[in-house]
């Protein structure tokens, strides 16, 4: 379905970096759900670039306009359309090097796919700019989940070579909200070192990547579908739609390759009258279905492909080798901004899976008690 | 869509481990495609357990019966239904411990989801047994891809702590077929050490996991869709439907977290009159769309959860803590068998993506020349 | 999705008239639902040809085998696969005239679509035989609906020029089950005249069609989705998948063209403490959503295209005009058999729509009280 | 998928009658297709109310804004978003009677579905106003079809009791464009009588309906899918999403009920070296697949439910019987405006079906020659 995803709740994404607007259509929401405008504004603000040497100097207010589906601060049950106008576009930055394929970008693949008719300005539909739409839509979903007792939290597990504290039951399960304007970290003391490492890379015209870790609490056991609609399938499908994500793992993930079964299996225990697991190496998911423990996943975000160092490339108007010196405004690191993208995308995915199981009305009336 | 996946070509999976049969319905194939019965038989044979101390002693001939969509060795254009009868089922093995949740398995999640009505025998629909159906269907797709000049190859990058040789352009791009009855390895000299390491774990009632690496060559540039139907989204969706997969990465994957942009970007070069990249750290995919280079992905397969060591668990009929001693027939390692599962699943995904772009008829008449 | 349909509950259809088997995969059912084997057997029996001069002399026992998803007479929550083996196939009947396109049949369109690779034997995938699979699957759904207080009934409103009594609240709303072996009529006195009219047409090598009327009671108000997933959209999509259906109308249908608004509008009234309508010219549906009144629809079934009279046609191996004299075994009228096809298809569609709104678990635990 | 429909080409509809905007997202278009702005403007103009006693006095310029997917008059291959701002909204008209359910409208069903949270102003999402979005999107598709040699034409077969000339090969197959500002009729002489009949009904506070007939020429044989995605299934699904449509028939439609097979079958003939049919009672479709003849369908449009005559209804805030006297601006007949709605919806459906078969690129590069 290309730019539409979801079973019971669907999101349709549209827009180009330098086009009139970007936006999203969210369908399948119950009527009468409060739209948490503050939460949406907070999420948009976290995604926003700040022009502080850490992210691009293209800063836009990113005002979200509701075109449909919302009345008096509540959903009406029909498609919710969110639009964000593009205002601060400087396509001229790209003109000088328009014929040179930017390594690591979608320039060449878009050219091949759209036979030269793509909107190439600013990366067009492949720009990270598009995630402003998914963040707005996902934040609306996150607000709905909160009313159902479900929290989604993403921290920067690693960035520019600096690692955050590991998730522990003490820190991880309470899902701290990062202070406004700060990095999402379990250990706030890592913010300055990370920022310095990012600026160091940016200072030499280079960029860095990192790993984001997402934890989702409060999802009851029994959510997700066997085989093709496993929780991992749905969430990975969504995460890989986010530009720059090149890997995902659940629970202990790739570390499971070197564990033995006796280490990888999470022993079941009775805890407060409920079935729980003593460890969580399966990330809250067995056989593709939630087991009631926190869902844990990590995504890797590659270094920003737009770097200022000269790069070897191809001039595709003449099909000759060439050297590219990128102009324009770019983030030396998108990891801190991506945290909220992954967080809201996960919120959307979980809301869809819950709705498949419990029906649309449960979004409003609550999940059945277990 | 739960047990159905795909846009232009879809696969529907059905069956339980100890039910009458498992199978798959493959829809969206062109008419007149030769069904490569030898290739299907080879793939089924690779997935088959051998009862040799490396895999379960439940060995079945796994005869594939075509119920529809095939006539005189060719597709007819209508749904192809493949069925494999279950013959060697010993449900009694499970009876003694039926009330004890097996750690790492879907017992508890299936119980929660299906409210006690699941077919629990042998893991039911969550058994690895189900992959016999996806392998048969995917092998049919793999045969179609071959006619289009596309090859899919999966080797055991790591298993039981033993690593295969890394993919290099010399070894990787020729996609060697493993010799029948042997592990899929680039370095055949690693087979004996791997088997010994597996048997060592099995000998102490434990199990091991590993990492599979898949390479797909011959896919033209421009395949895949932006945002939700990126190549990574589609392939990861499919891979996470395979039991025991807990992580996936494309190209350099998680290693990108510690690279700088200047290392992670693949420089474009002209090669034999075509645009290519000098390195392939993006795994043949930029912006979710193929760039014509080989598609590279790795999946982690967790250690078999069925181990013979005593495990802490819960008796869910009495909601009490308990100790489980698993009976039955289980693989100490499923990684070698999983290689063909991932390989055929990838083949299905690529055929779907190609068909979305080029239409159903291109399956028969070939892809347009670039 | 070609041979798969449904949102929360999906049906996948496979098989050819003279292939090994036909069948259906039903996904999205809750676990623990009783499978009403008697109802399925009754529906299969009603669809079955009897070789009595009214329907084809190809009579088959049509034994339904459950390949998956059912255990001890209850659904397990995973895909239910139903298979019916083809046993009484006489492809030789078709050999003599294989090159001659049968007017009114899919011979030419299948040839064009599948470029000559279609399974043409007995009409292949386009044969009415395929409906044996949809009837079995739909009958399972009908049984589930009954537990929820919803009844589906289809009578032969008109056949071979003979009309049944019109639906009235007295007769229509009680949904009488036709006696086994008899036509589904509100007025049993019309059976003999209809049969005589059918035999009269058959006696001169010709065939007749008719109109079926379906009524669905007990569906609560608020089911269906706006715009593309209106109740009419979903049900018409399903009905037109049934061979020979060429028209559908809801409520007063085409007669609305000559009514004025004051006649066509159904006045709302309070009845037993609930909102109801005094008339039902909108067929229980306003704006695509159910209003709690019985859903009413009519489908037209064209005369069986297989007739024994000589017909003008084309020999598509030589692209010349030709005359066709059809052999084989054919129904002079499929309307009585089609009644149960439409009935079970409607049951499937309603179950899907209910599940979209109320969730999978409501199939088992009941609809919320209004 | 609720407000999204389509397989290879999808349309997502959003908006409410009195909300900020209505719109559509069209995904799956090839890149580089010219956007025929004149055709879109013409279609929007035909749908527009004129305030001439024939249609509502709510007249809006309906300026279509492209938010994404179009650059320099061509598609870019990414989702095309069309938005139309609502400007002339007078919600006050509805306030006085807001508690009274309007018979024939979706007031009650929306109330039941959305539990009182629906946007009820002007009919909200259920208003015919929403079709402005589908007309704009469908007109874009119609322009693409024209480049492929396919024409779609809809005339008013019957309205207010006045019938247009029947389609004949002479008149029907040339698909005349109606003169701007005039009714779409084969016989222009019927316009004045129809208008007089409409005004006569409007003059007594009543309304009328009618039947629209659509013909689609140039579609090659072999388009459409067996069973669930028959051409009839896809087109009927779309047509019933249009408010006020209560019936659809293909070819001879309901008249087939009284024909014999020898009358209903269309004899095949060789014509200009191609297979054709001598008659077209199957409406260009056999077995759900196109046969190369013109596709013929008719939809019935019920009389406008908004009438000025007093009507019996229910006050749903007090659950009492009541009498409703509708205020506001309403069409005594929407049939002439609906003609372009059906026409553009059919164009969208045909483009989707063609793309499923021939791939996205064929939209630009043309259909293969037969």
Q: Give just the sign of the alpha carbon dihedral A56, A57, A63, A65.
A: negative
Answer for the pair A221, A370: CB distance below 8 angstroms, yes or no: yes
Interface mutation target, options B32, B72, B74, B77, chain C, most CBs of C under 10 Å: B77
pLDDT for B185 equals: 93
Taking the C-alpha atoms of A43, A45, A50 and A54 in order, what is their torsion angle to the nearest 10 degrees?
A: -20
| Range with lowest mean pLDDT among B150-159, C197-206, D42-51, D290-299 | D42-51
On whether the CB atoms of residues A261 and A270 are closer than 8 A, the answer is no
A271 part of contact set with chain B, CB < 8 Å = no
User: Dihedral through CA C170, CA C172, CA C175, CA C179, nearest 10?
Assistant: 90
User: Is residue B173 over pLDDT 60?
Assistant: no
Residue to mutate among D212, D222, D265, D356, with most C CBs inside 10 A, is D265
Q: What pLDDT digit, counting tens, does each position of D253-285 carry?
A: 999 999 999 999 999 999 989 999 999 999 999
The lowest-confidence range among A129-133, C105-109, D76-80, D315-319 is D315-319
SS3 category, B43: helix
> Which run of H or E residues covers position D37?
helix D37-47
Choose among B3, B22, B76: nearest Cβ to C124.
B76
Task: Show residues of chain B in contact with C83, CB under 8 Å.
Answer: 67, 83
Q: Which of residues 48-67 of B touch C (CB under 8 A)?
A: 65-67
- Do D358 and B359 lie within an 8 Å CB cutoff? yes
Is residue D184 predicted with pLDDT exceeding 90?
yes
- Measured in degrees and rounded to the nearest 5, phi and psi for residue B90 equal -130, 75
First to last CA, chain C: 35
Average pLDDT over chain C reads 92
Q: What is the pLDDT of residue C48?
A: 85
* Dihedral of alpha carbons C11, C12, C13, C19, sign: negative
Identify the residue among C231, C253, C262, C370 best suited for mutation to test binding to D, counting D beta carbons within 10 A and taking the highest: C262
Does A257 contact chain D (CB < 8 Å)? no
Given a cut of 80, whether residue D330 has pLDDT beyond it is no
Interchain contact, B12 vs C27, CB within 8 Å: yes
Q: Tell the residue number behind the tokens 């759904």, with chain if given.
A: C141
Of C76, D164, C274, D214, the residue nearest B124 (C-alpha): C76
- The answer on pLDDT for A244 being more than 80 is yes
Q: Higher model confidence: residue B57 or residue A85?
A: A85
Does pLDDT of C275 surpass 90?
yes
d(CA A20, CA D79) in angstroms, rounded, equals 13
Whether D3 and A27 lie within 8 Å, measured CB to CB: yes
A14: nearest CA in chain B? B227
Q: What is the mean predicted confidence (pLDDT) over C322-346?
A: 91
Q: How far is D359 from chain B (nearest CA, A)?
A: 4
- Token pair for D190: 């019927």
Most confidently predicted of B95-109, B163-177, B299-313:
B299-313
Average pLDDT of the residues of chain B: 92
Q: Considering only CA atoms, which of A9, C323, A44 is closest in space to residue D2?
A: A9
Sheet holding A80-85, edge to edge: A4-5, A10-15, A21-27, A80-85, A64-68
Mean pLDDT of B223-236: 95
Q: pLDDT tens across A53-93, in order?
A: 677 666 667 899 999 999 999 999 999 999 999 987 666 65
Q: How far is CA B191 from CA B56, B198, B297, in A?
A: 18, 11, 22
**Which chains would you list as touching B if contact means 3+ CB atom pairs under 8 Å?**
A, C, D
Q: What is the DSSP letter of A309?
A: S
Measured between CB atoms, which of D211, D224, D229 is closest to C257? D211
Q: What is the pLDDT of residue C71?
A: 97
Residue of C nearest to D229 (CA): C2
Report d(CA D156, CA D185) in Å as an integer.
Answer: 6
- In angstroms, the separation between the Cα of residue A39 and the nearest Cα of chain D is 22
Best residue of C265, C269, C299, C355 to probe chain D, by most D CBs closer than 10 Å: C265
Cβ-Cβ contacts under 8 Å for C303 (sequence gap 6 or more): C201, C206, C207, C208, C209, C333, D256, D259, D260, D261, D263, D264
Indicate the residue of A109, A277, A357 with minimum beta-carbon distance to B290.
A109
Here the tokens at position A317 are 């108007």
Query: Residue B181 — very low, low, confident or very high, per pLDDT cuts 50/70/90?
Result: confident
Where are the alpha helices (H) located in B297-334, listed in sequence order?
none
C33 in Cβ contact with C367 (< 8 Å): no
Q: Give contacts of D213 with chain C, Cβ < 8 Å.
A: none
Kindly tell me the number of DSSP H helices and DSSP E strands found in chain D. 10, 19
Contact (Cβ atoms closer than 8 angstroms) between residue C304 and residue C334: yes
Tell me the range of B92-101, B121-130, B342-351 where mean pLDDT is highest.
Answer: B342-351
B189 touches D at CB < 8 Å: no
Tokens encoding B14: 């059905």
Residue B299 and residue B237: Cα distance in Å, rounded? 12
Helix-helix angle D231-239:C231-239, to 10 degrees = 170
Question: Which residues fall within 8 angstroms of residue D102, CB to CB, at 6 or more apart?
Answer: D305, D306, D311, D313, D324, D326
CA distance C178 to C186: 9
pLDDT, one tens digit per residue, over A181-240 is 899 999 999 999 999 999 999 999 999 999 999 999 999 999 999 899 999 999 999 999
The string of DSSP letters for D219-244 reads: PPTT-S-SGGG-HHHHHHHHHTTSTT
Query: What's the rounded Cα separation, in Å, for the pair B354 and B360?
Result: 9
**Res B169 pLDDT > 60:** no
Asked if B241's CB is within 8 angstroms of A237's CB, the reply is no
Average pLDDT value for chain D: 92
Q: Tell which of A24, A34, A63, A76 to mutate to test the D interface (max D CBs under 10 Å).
A: A76
Residue C58 confidence class, pLDDT cut points 50, 70, 90: low
- What one-character DSSP code corresponds to residue D260? B
Asked if pLDDT for residue D51 goes beyond 70, the answer is: no
- The sign of the torsion formed by the CA atoms of D343, D348, D351, D353 equals negative
> For residue A260, what is the DSSP state?
B
What is the model's pLDDT at position B57? 62
For A144-171, what is the mean pLDDT?
Answer: 89
* Residues of C in Cβ contact (< 8 Å) with A362: 359
Asked if residue D1 has pLDDT above 90, the reply is: no
Q: CA angle, D10 as apex, C2 and D281 as ends, to 5°?
A: 55
Q: How confident is the model at residue D252 (pLDDT cuts 50, 70, 90)?
A: very high
Provide the 8-state DSSP code for D136: H
Whether residue D246 and residue C253 make contact (CB cut-off 8 A), yes or no, is yes
B13 touches B3 (CB < 8 A): yes
Residue contact D71–A1, C-beta within 8 A? no
On the 0-12 / 13-18 / 19+ scale of CB atoms within 10 A, D297 is buried
Would you state the pLDDT for residue B170? 44
Q: Can you give the pLDDT at residue A176?
A: 74
Q: CA C235, CA C242: separation in Å to the nearest integer?
A: 11
> Which residue, among B189, B211, B183, B207, has the nearest Cα to B197 in the 3D structure?
B207
Half-sphere exposure (CA, 13 Å, Cβ side) for A313? 24
Is there a contact between A24 and A79 (Cβ–Cβ < 8 Å)? no
Cα-Cα-Cα-Cα torsion D113, D117, D119, D122, nearest 10 degrees, comes to 70
Residue D157 reports pLDDT greater than 70:
yes
- Residue B153 contacts D, CB cutoff 8 Å: no
Q: Is the pLDDT score of B233 beyond 90?
A: yes
Q: Using CA coordinates, name the residue in chain B closest to C69.
A: B15
**SS3 track for chain C:** CCCEECCCCEEEEEECCCCCEEEEEEECCCEEEECCHHHHHHHHHHHCCCCCCCCCCCCCCCCEEEEECEECCEEECCCEEEEEECCCCCCHHHHCCCCECCCCCCHHHHHHHHCCCCCCHHHHHHCHHHHHHHHHHHHHHHHHHHHCCCEEEEEEEEECCEECCCCCHHHHCCCCCCCCCCCCCCCHHHHHHHHHHHHHHHHCCCCECEEEEEEEECCCCCCCCCHHHCHHHHHHHHHCCCCCEEEEEECCHHHHHHCEHHHHCCCEEEECCEEEECCCCCCCEECCEECCCCEEEEEEECCCCCCCCCEEEEECCCCEEEEECCCCCCCCCCHHHHHHHHHHHHHHHHHHHHHHHHCCCHHHHCCCCC
Contacts of B68 in chain C (CB under 8 A): 14-16, 19-23, 125
- Which chain A residues have a beta carbon less than 8 Å from that of B254? 211, 247, 249, 254, 300
Q: In the predicted model, is pLDDT for residue D56 greater than 70?
A: no
Q: What is the mean predicted confidence (pLDDT) over D161-176? A: 73
Other chains touching A, judged by 3 or more CB pairs under 8 Å: B, C, D
Q: For residue D110, which phi and psi values (nearest 5 degrees)?
A: -65, -40
Is residue A66 within 8 A of residue A82, CB to CB? The reply is: yes
pLDDT tops 70 at residue B302: yes
Residue C95's pLDDT is what?
63
Which of B98-107, B153-162, C323-332 ranks highest by mean pLDDT?
B153-162
Answer whether D13 sits within 8 Å of C227, measured CB to CB.
yes
Q: What is the pLDDT of residue C233?
A: 98
CA pair distance A174, A186, nearest whole angstrom: 11
pLDDT in tens, D192-233: 999 999 999 999 999 999 999 999 999 999 999 989 999 999
How many percent of chain C have pLDDT more than 90?
A: 81
pLDDT score for A60? 65
B166: confidence class by pLDDT, cuts 50, 70, 90: confident
Distance (Å, whole) CA A83 – CA A65: 5
Measured CA to CA, the distance from residue B232 to residue B295 in angstroms comes to 10
Asked if residue B37 has pLDDT above 90, the reply is yes
| Contact between chains at A76 and D3 (C-beta distance less than 8 A) | no
| pLDDT over threshold 90, residue C212 | yes
Q: Inter-chain contact B268–A110, Cβ cutoff 8 Å?
A: no
Question: pLDDT-derived band of residue D167, with 50, 70 and 90 as boundaries?
Answer: confident
Mutant choice from D288, D356, D357 vs B, greatest count of B C-beta within 10 A: D356
pLDDT per residue as tens digits for the range D134-144: 999 999 999 99
Residues in chain D closer than 8 A to B355 (CB atoms): 359
ipTM: 0.96
Cα–Cα distance for residue pair D236/C299, rounded to 1 Å: 13
What pLDDT, on the 0 to 100 scale, is given for residue B59?
Answer: 64
Classify A226 as helix, strand or coil: coil
Distances (CA, A) of A194 to A65, A160, A187, A202, D46: 34, 6, 11, 12, 60
Angstrom distance (rounded) from CA A265 to CA A259:
10
Task: Give the burial class of A367: count Cβ atoms within 10 A of its Cβ; 0-12 exposed, 13-18 middle, 19 or more buried.
Answer: middle
Average pLDDT over residues B336-362: 96
Q: What pLDDT is recorded for position A87?
A: 86
Q: Which residues pair with D24 in a beta bridge?
A: D13, D82
Band (B172; pLDDT cuts 50, 70, 90): very low
Pairing of strands C268-271, C210-217: unpaired
For range D178-203, the mean pLDDT: 92
Say if the Cβ atoms of A3 and D124 lie within 8 Å: no
Compute the count of residue pairs across chains B and D with CB atoms less than 8 Å apart. 31
| Over residues C76-84, mean pLDDT | 97
CB-CB contact of D295 with D165 (8 Å): no
What is the sign of the dihedral through the CA atoms of C215, C218, C219 and C220? Answer: positive
Residue-range domain boundaries for chain C? 4-360
Q: Going by CATH, does the domain composed of A4-360 fall within 3.40.50.1010?
A: no
Ramachandran area for residue A344 (φ above 0: left; ψ -120 to 50: alpha; else beta): alpha
User: Which residues of C are less than 8 Å from B1 in CB distance?
Assistant: 4, 10, 27
pLDDT, position B291: 97
D77 to chain A, any CB pair closer than 8 A? The answer is: yes
What's the CA gap between B337 and B48, in Å, rounded? 7
pLDDT at A349: 98
Residue with tokens 């589904």: C184
d(CA A3, CA B227) in angstroms, rounded, equals: 6
Residue C114, pLDDT above cutoff 80: yes
């Amino acid at each position: 379905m290309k730019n539409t995803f979801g079973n019971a709740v669907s999101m349709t994404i549209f827009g180009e970096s330098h086009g009139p607007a970007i936006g999203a259509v969210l369908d399948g929401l119950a009527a009468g759900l409060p739209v948490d405008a503050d939460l949406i504004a907070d999420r948009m603000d976290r995604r926003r670039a700040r022009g502080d040497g850490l992210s691009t100097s293209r800063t836009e207010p990113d005002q979200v306009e509701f075109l449909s589906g919302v009345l008096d601060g509540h959903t009406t049950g029909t498609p919710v359309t969110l639009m964000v106008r593009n205002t601060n576009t400087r396509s001229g930055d790209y003109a000088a090097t328009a014929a040179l394929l930017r390594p690591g970008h979608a320039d060449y693949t878009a050219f091949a796919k759209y036979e030269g008719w793509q909107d190439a300005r600013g990366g067009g539909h492949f720009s990270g700019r598009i995630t402003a739409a998914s963040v707005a839509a996902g934040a609306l979903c996150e607000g709905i989940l909160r009313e159902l007792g479900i929290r989604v939290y993403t921290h920067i597990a690693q960035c520019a070579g600096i690692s955050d504290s590991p998730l522990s039951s003490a820190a991880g399960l309470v899902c701290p909200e990062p202070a406004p304007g700060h990095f999402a970290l379990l250990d706030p003391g890592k913010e300055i070192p990370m920022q310095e490492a990012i600026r160091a890379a940016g200072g030499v015209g280079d960029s860095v990547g990192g790993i984001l870790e997402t934890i989702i609490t409060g999802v009851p056991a029994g959510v997700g579908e066997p085989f093709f609609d496993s929780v991992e399938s749905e969430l990975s499908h969504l995460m890989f739609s986010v530009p720059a994500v090149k890997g995902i793992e659940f629970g202990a993930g790739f570390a499971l390759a070197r564990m033995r079964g006796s280490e990888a299996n999470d022993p079941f225990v009775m805890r407060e009258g409920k079935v729980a697991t003593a460890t969580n190496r399966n990330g809250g998911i067995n056989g593709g279905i939630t087991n009631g423990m926190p869902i844990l996943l990590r995504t890797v975000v590659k270094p920003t492909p737009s770097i200022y160092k000269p790069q070897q490339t191809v001039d595709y108007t003449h099909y000759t080798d060439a050297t590219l010196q990128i102009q324009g405004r770019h983030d030396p690191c998108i990891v801190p901004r991506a945290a909220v993208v992954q967080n809201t995308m996960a919120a959307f995915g979980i809301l869809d899976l819950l709705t498949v199981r419990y029906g649309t009305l449960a979004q409003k009336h609550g999940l059945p008690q277990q």
